[in-house]
Amino acid sequence: EAGVAQSPRYKIIEKRQSVAFWCNPISGHATLYWYQQILGQGPKLLIQFQNNGVVDDSQLPKDRFSAERLKGVDSTLKIQPAKLEDSAVYLCASSSLLGGESLSYEQYFGPGTRLTVT
């Protein structure tokens, strides 16, 4: 089965510019996640979608970050305007319900987009 696809793989922009990342999850996966991974740290969840609805965006800096998942498949994450501290790898992951009442979803990660803000 095809994995999670992300593009672009690398992006360099100047501060105050805008940037957008794209993610295509594994076919049939209802849940999609965007994580930010700053160098030397573990990934941090930015936003979680269930189909095309937002489940958790409590750690998304909403003054500059936005995300959407139209039609419950692909998703885009946008930063406008970018700051130096946004330099990070942005990871997309997807998961599907493993069954019953359990919320034990396994998440599959894409290769990430490495953003450098200068």
Partner 1 sequence: AQSVSQHNHHVILSEAASLELGCNYSYGGTVNLFWYVQYPGQHLQLLLKYFSGDPLVKGIKGFEAEFIKSKFSFNLRKPSVQWSDTAEYFCAVNIKAAGNKLTFGGGTRVLVKP
Q: How far is it, in rounded angstroms, from Cα 8 to Cα 66?
A: 17
Residue 15's nearest CA partner among 91, 87, 89, 90 is 87
Binding segment for partner 1 (CB under 8 A), chosen from 11-19, 63-71, 78-86, 96-104, is 96-104
3 lies in the binding site for partner 1 (CB under 8 A): yes
User: How close are the terminal C-alpha atoms of the chain, in Å?
Assistant: 37
Told to check if 31 binds partner 1 by CB under 8 A, we report yes
Which C-beta is closer to partner 1: that of 17 or that of 74? 74
- Which position among 1, 2, 41, 99 is part of the footprint of partner 1 (CB under 8 A)? 41
Whole-angstrom distance, CA of residue 50 vs CA of residue 14: 33
- Please, which residue, 14 or 56, has the CB nearer to partner 1? 56
